[in-house]
Amino acid sequence: MSLPEIGQPAPDFALPGSDGEIIRLSHFRGKANVLLAFYPFDFSPICEKQLPGLQEQMERFRALETVVLGISTDSPYSHRAFAAELGLEFPLLSDFFGKHASAAYGVLRSDGFCERASFIIDKKGILRYAAVHGLDRVPDVEELIRVLESLVQSHD
């Protein structure tokens, strides 16, 4: 599997959040940039650093008109407990059934869970950034912010 191509429409998906609500990527088209933060497992050491690191920057993401969506192959029930434990305010989406989103973004591993990866999609639904970070590494939030700042500046 390979990552979707930069400059092309981002693969759409419809996934349940921890509250059971179905969230579609296409819902944000024309409204907000989207940061997809794929991560391997709820309650794992690196994920317990990655997601709070995003939460700490929520004001900056909002200022950059960006919605953050966490995605893993864990269940919505696990996500609910994980989000509560970490105090996360952004949705954690479950790609548990079918694993279609992880596959569409080229991050589904042969062992059934997803890579740690970040994707930035602009308001038009076009993929502008894609990176697989490695399972043992917390992604650089400042790099993601820089990409989003350049998107916002280019559309001013």
In order of their start, the domains of the chain are 14-154 (3.40.30.10)
> What is the reported pTM?
0.97
Give the model's pLDDT for residue 1.
Answer: 65
* Span 23-59, pLDDT tens digits: 999 999 999 999 999 999 999 999 999 999 999 999 9
Residue 155: pLDDT over 80: no
Residues belonging to the active site: 47
* Span 84-117, pLDDT tens digits: 999 999 999 999 999 999 999 999 999 999 999 9
Query: Under 8 Å CB-to-CB from 143, ≥6 apart: which residues?
Result: none
10, 125 Cβ separation under 8 angstroms: yes
Residue 45, number of CB atoms within 10 A of its CB: 10
Give the model's pLDDT for residue 156.
Answer: 59
Q: How confident is the model at residue 153 (pLDDT cuts 50, 70, 90)?
A: confident
**Cα of 69 vs its chain's centroid, Å:** 4
